[in-house]
Amino acid sequence: MPGLKKLFSLYRYIKPYKYEYALGLLFLLGSSSASLVFPKLLGQLVDLGNQGKLAQEINRIALILLVVLVLQSVFAYCRIYLFTHVTEKTLADLRQSAFNHIIRLPMKFFLYRRVGELNSRISSDITLLQDALTSTLAEFLRQLIIIIGGVSLLMVTSYKLTLFMLAILPVIMLLVVFFGRYIRNLSKQAQSQVADSNTIVEETLQGIQSVKTFTNEFFEMGRYKSKTIDIANTGIKNGKLRGAFSSFTIIGLFGTMVAVIWRGSQLLSAGELATGELFSFVIYTVFIGGTIGGMADVFSRVQKFIGATEDLMEIFNEPLEEVQEISELTADEVLRGNIRYENVSFAYPSRTGIQVLSDISINIRPGSLIALVGPSGAGKSTFVSLLMRLYDPVSGMILFDEKDNRDIPLSVLRSQMAIVPQDIFLFGGTIRENIAYGRPGATAEMIEEAARQANAWEFISQFSDGLDTLVGERGTQLSGGQRQRIAIARAVLKDPRILILDEATSSLDSESERLVQDALEKLMKSRTSIVIAHRLSTIRQADHILVMQEGRIVEQGTHEQLLQLTDGLYKNLSDLQFA
């Protein structure tokens, strides 16, 4: 079965703890074997009493039973402790592996996946695996040992009665396979619905300000209610199926027991079976019957496990970006800042029929200031996304210092770039942590100096906690201008060779814009800077302006040169803004 194959592929995470796991399996074997000895010893005890044996013989068997009971208790404790120890360690490794894998996936993966769904995979799905790796797997193995061992001992006791009992088992096994397939599908469906509901919660809480300003609280409540009702209905359907499965199994098992006792009584009256043997046989039958009945619940949990594993393995099968940890760059790896686009065309993987960039060719000199202007949807943001290798061109190439960007290690390339976007994302920690994100491990002096250069120290020093002030979820405790200056400080600390600015002042008031613009001018000195601009007043001093429309460069030159083009797109945009 492909599902089982994927399930067992996760057991590679147990490999570092294989000795503890093997010891746990040994205790599991001991505990299960001890439980199988019980019916045999009880049968002998009945036979000794029936035959009028001495009390000494009866006491000896009773003492052995007591020893077996103690051993079984000790084995059970050791088994549970070892399996739990191994499972918790394994799940920690699995969570780390899943997170590390997701964070190294290329941007095109995130075009098709929502954050809430991925969060559900790491939390809900792995929680299911926790249950499976401890109790479910151990229970499954224990039941398997009891069934196989019990049937073997039954064959020794009375092969005729055993064959009679086993004639009924194929019917039960067919039921297990039949119901298991449907239980598995429903479990996988429930997992997907839980992931969808988690997505709704995450997106709603992330955009809570929009929810409230649009008074859509009841809309979101209705959306979540609908999804949770779907989850409940799937769970109820699953419960009905499991209930029907258990009912049919119980009928089959108790019917088997009645038939076994009836057939055993015939053999007993014919002298082919002793009383103690029939007693042991009935207890073994109850053991095996109860175990097969319990297999229904275990099997349904295993199906859930397989469903969760399949979803998780889909993510693990996604190809990774070749990122690496950068400690220090060699002289050969340091970029001078020369960039050349050579016949670059691009379409997003999610909409391959729409050409976003078409045959772009441009040479950018080291240390120059390049501005990208044009209407929305012209391809400006895509231009810089390709620069950072968030995506690769469909055709053509991008060269840095005359090296193909695909020949430069990805982390080496990105470590020498910084972006200050229009929509600043700050982590929900302190100002210090957000600035230090540009260079983890930076000293307090370096962080303070970066804040001063970004014109951020003035407002930071006014806070009672200074750099240790919490910024709130996504930086909501700070104003737009303050968030921009924190982002600039982060870029200053990174000290990039290539700087990308995505209209960093467009949504600010005049005072904030002046402070941010001043900080940006200091940051752009002696770096190759690429500015996406909507306000043309901010790029008049650019060394070169690229005017883009429908994925093409339609005009280029300095501010003065472009204004001289009659009916030019740049001149029209300028006239509209400064009319």
d(CA 46, CA 279): 8
455: left (phi over 0), alpha (psi -120 to 50) or beta: left
The answer to whether residue 325 sits within a structural domain is no
In this structure, are residues 532 and 380 in contact, taking their beta carbons and an 8 Å threshold?
yes
- pLDDT tens for residues 169-218? 666 666 666 666 666 677 767 777 777 777 778 777 767 766 776 677 78
For residues 330-339, average pLDDT = 88
What residues make up the domain containing 370?
339-578
Cα of first residue to Cα of last residue in the chain, in angstroms, is: 71
> What is the pLDDT, as a whole number, of residue 342?
94
CATH number at residue 164: 1.20.1560.10
For residues 261-273, average pLDDT = 72
d(CA 199, CA 201): 5
> What is the pLDDT, as a whole number, of residue 6?
57
d(CA 346, CA 331): 32
The answer to whether residue 552 sits within a structural domain is yes
Same structural domain for residues 60 and 157?
yes
CATH number at residue 463: 3.40.50.300
Is 499 in a helix, a strand, or coil? strand
pLDDT at position 2 over 60:
no
Same structural domain for residues 284 and 351?
no
pLDDT at position 396 over 90:
yes
Q: Which of 13-22, 146-155, 358-367, 435-444 has the lowest mean pLDDT?
A: 146-155
Same structural domain for residues 441 and 479?
yes
pLDDT at position 433 over 80:
yes
pLDDT at position 361 over 90:
yes
Q: At what angle do helices 169-206 and 275-316 cross, to 10 degrees?
A: 40
Most confident range, picked from 62-66, 276-280, 326-330, 346-350: 346-350
- pLDDT tens for residues 27-40? 888 887 777 777 67
Q: Which of 130-134, 338-342, 377-381, 408-412 has the lowest mean pLDDT?
A: 130-134
> What is the pLDDT, as a whole number, of residue 393?
92
Same structural domain for residues 304 and 346?
no
157's tokens = 């006791």
Same structural domain for residues 349 and 211?
no
The answer to whether residue 326 sits within a structural domain is no
Look at residues 406, 519, 508, 401 and name the one whose alpha carbon lies nearest to residue 457.
519
Number of independent structural domains in the chain: 2
5's tokens = 């194959």
Share above pLDDT 90 across residues of the chain, in percent, rounded to a whole number: 9
- Model confidence at 272, pLDDT cuts 50, 70, 90, reads confident
> What is the pLDDT, as a whole number, of residue 91?
81
The answer to whether residue 321 sits within a structural domain is no
354's tokens = 């729409």
> What is the pLDDT, as a whole number, of residue 346?
93
Residue 476 has a CB neighbour count (10 Å cut-off) of 12
The identity of residue 577, as a single letter, is Q
pLDDT at position 123 over 80:
no
- Model confidence at 90, pLDDT cuts 50, 70, 90, reads confident
185-198 per-residue burial string, b: 16 or more CB within 10 A, e: under 16: ebbbbbbbbbbbbb
- Model confidence at 554, pLDDT cuts 50, 70, 90, reads very high
Same structural domain for residues 347 and 308?
no
- Model confidence at 51, pLDDT cuts 50, 70, 90, reads low
Same structural domain for residues 97 and 197?
yes
> What is the pLDDT, as a whole number, of residue 339?
93
> What is the pLDDT, as a whole number, of residue 505?
61
Same structural domain for residues 440 and 480?
yes
- pLDDT tens for residues 128-147? 776 666 666 677 777 777 77
Task: Transcribe 284-352 into DSSP letters.
Answer: HHHHHHHHHHHHHHHHHHHHHHHHHHHHHHHHHTSPPP-----S---TTT-----EEEEEEEE--GGGT
Same structural domain for residues 302 and 346?
no
